[in-house]
Structure 1
Amino acid sequence: MHTELTKLGYTEKWIRFGLLDQDILTKQIISFQNGDDSNTEHFRYQTFINWLETKADVNDVEIQNFVELAVEDKDQLMAGSAIVQLLRHPEITDNQFKFISEKLSTFGSWTKKVIEREQLKRKSQHE
């Protein structure tokens, strides 16, 4: 399985952290081998997004794991986009928002406007 993981740019942590399972990996490997998409970061991004869509709420450890996987990813543009989607999750707490924002800001100056926009959205929802 290790060679399947690395073929798409995953690490063992993806499995250990519960974002990826063998079934998803097998489907993605087949799609990749069929030439449906040669950009491995698209598969990892889709795994981030699919995982987020299954979560009604996200605990602190899950957020830390998600961010760790993103920060370690070789495609930092994709990883930053994934963290933006995590930041937009409707059920994150204020402390989680702060943690995610701090990590996202390390991806570059483009993140400042994204974070500010999401702060304004959160503020208007709490009023």
Structure 2
Amino acid sequence: MAAPDFGERLGFTPAWFDLGVVDQAFMEKARAEWDKGDDTNTEHYRWWAFQEFLAARRPLSADLAAALYELGATDADPGMGGSIMSAIVYLSECPQAVLDAAAAAGERYLLRAVERRRAEPRAAADAGA
């Protein structure tokens, strides 16, 4: 199976590649893990890629945070996508526009995440500035 086909099989849309969340080096690691046959849950590979990217890129710019939130919003697996969106909301650098989008998304877990973020002393101070 060619790399692009393998990426599609794992649920990586073009946005994952365009944002740089997934690259050839990650795909090689993912392929090696996949070939072991221990984990065929494709969302685990997307979460792995997201976590590695996040760890390497923090703090995120407002634009990148918004793009990653959208990446979660469009994930084929609602649980996986929700995990990405929640992770972005909980970042200290999460921009107000993303917090507002999460609050308006109609998902209770996102609303709770936004409420918790807004209750943090730093977030409250930033909102008043």
- TM-score w.r.t. length of structure 1: 0.82
Change (3 A) 1:29 1:121: same
Decide whether the 8 Å contact of 2:89 with 2:113 is kept in 1. no
- 2:101 corresponds to: 103
Helix, strand or coil: the match of 1:54?
helix
- 1:26 corresponds to: 28
Tell me which amino acid in the other structure corresponds to 1:119: R
Query: Structure 1 residue 123: deviation in Å?
Result: 4.0
Change (3 A) 1:47 1:107: farther
Decide whether the 8 Å contact of 1:45 with 1:79 is kept in 2. no
Query: Structure 1 residue 124: deviation in Å?
Result: 6.8
- 1:117 corresponds to: 116
Q: 2:37 matched to 1:38?
A: no
Uncovered stretches (5+) of structure 2, i.e. residues with no partner:
none
Tell me which amino acid in the other structure corresponds to 1:29: R
Q: Distance in 2 between matches of 1:27 and 1:107?
A: 36
- 2:17 corresponds to: 15
Tell me which amino acid in the other structure corresponds to 1:101: L
- 1:86 corresponds to: 88
Tell me which amino acid in the other structure corresponds to 1:64: A
Query: Structure 1 residue 126: deviation in Å?
Result: 4.0
Q: 1:66 aligns with which of 65, 68, 71?
A: 68
Q: Distance in 1 between matches of 2:106 and 2:81?
A: 9
Query: Structure 1 residue 80: deviation in Å?
Result: 1.1
Calculate percent identity across the aligned residue pairs: 22
Change (3 A) 1:32 1:102: farther
Q: Give the superposed CA RMSD.
A: 2.2
Uncovered stretches (5+) of structure 1, i.e. residues with no partner:
none
- TM-score w.r.t. length of structure 2: 0.81
Change (3 A) 1:69 1:56: closer
Decide whether the 8 Å contact of 2:90 with 2:113 is kept in 1. no
Q: Distance in 2 between matches of 1:104 and 1:47?
A: 22
Query: Structure 1 residue 61: deviation in Å?
Result: 2.3
